[in-house]
């Protein structure tokens, strides 16, 4: 697959679409290796990943459910089930975390952007292997630090759910280039 095709054909594939085919450990390693090579200003490499698979997915689902129950003002059984279900339906969940540079040598947004670029690499590497992915960032992620055993200067920015799927994802559209680009030449 060419890089242009890979970029244009990548889609979010939500956990309910995943089948039960396991993802090989070496594929997970290769995908994380691609993420590790994202651009990083001042080489802070702020990305941190926690891979959750096998039986640990049930523990993640429980932690998500507990955080949702404890921290939501308007409890919804549907939301509760959906949040837990994402962890249970995926073959692998990767907690996307950021470790802030202790020297704060650059603005925090640059480190968040670097993590986002690492996730784009992770997503493209997954897509290249026909593994679906979905970056979820529900409010409960702010409360998963103890479950993820995060250090003081780390925080979770989302959960990347992964799984093989049978049905092709829907097509997507983007705004025309002339609507998002302006040129200054003089």
Distance of alpha carbon 18 from alpha carbon 165, whole angstroms: 5
> What pLDDT does 65 receive?
97
Does residue 1 surpass a pLDDT of 90? Answer: no
pLDDT in tens, 171-183: 899 999 999 999 9
Contact 28, 174 (CB under 8 A): no
* Domains in the chain, CATH or no CATH each: 14-166 (3.40.109.10)
Burial 70-109 (b: 16+ CB within 10 A, else e): eeeeeeeeeeeebbbebbebbbbbbbbbbbebeeeeeeee
pTM of this structure: 0.94
Which has more confidence, 164 or 172?
A: 164
| pLDDT > 70 in the chain, percent | 100
**Mean pLDDT over each residue of the chain, to the nearest integer:** 96
pLDDT in tens, 30-80: 999 999 999 999 999 999 999 999 999 999 999 999 999 999 999 999 999
């Amino acid at each position: 697959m060419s890089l242009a095709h890979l970029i244009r054909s990548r889609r979010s594939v939500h956990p309910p679409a995943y089948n039960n085919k396991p993802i090989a450990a070496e594929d997970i390693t290769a995908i994380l290796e691609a993420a590790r090579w994202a651009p990083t200003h001042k080489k802070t490499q702020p990305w941190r990943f926690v891979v959750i698979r096998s039986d640990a997915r049930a523990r993640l689902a429980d932690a998500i459910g507990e955080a949702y129950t404890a921290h939501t003002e308007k409890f919804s059984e549907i939301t509760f089930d959906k949040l837990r279900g994402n962890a249970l339906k995926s073959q692998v969940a990767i907690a996307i975390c950021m470790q802030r540079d202790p020297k704060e040598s650059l603005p925090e947004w640059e480190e968040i952007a670097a993590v986002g670029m690492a996730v784009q690499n992770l997503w493209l590497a997954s897509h290249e292997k026909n593994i679906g992915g979905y970056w979820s960032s529900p409010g409960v992620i702010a409360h998963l630090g103890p479950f993820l055993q995060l250090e003081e200067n780390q925080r979770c920015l989302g959960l990347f759910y992964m799984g093989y799927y049978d049905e092709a994802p829907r097509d997507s559209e983007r705004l025309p280039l002339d609507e998002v680009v302006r040129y200054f030449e003089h």
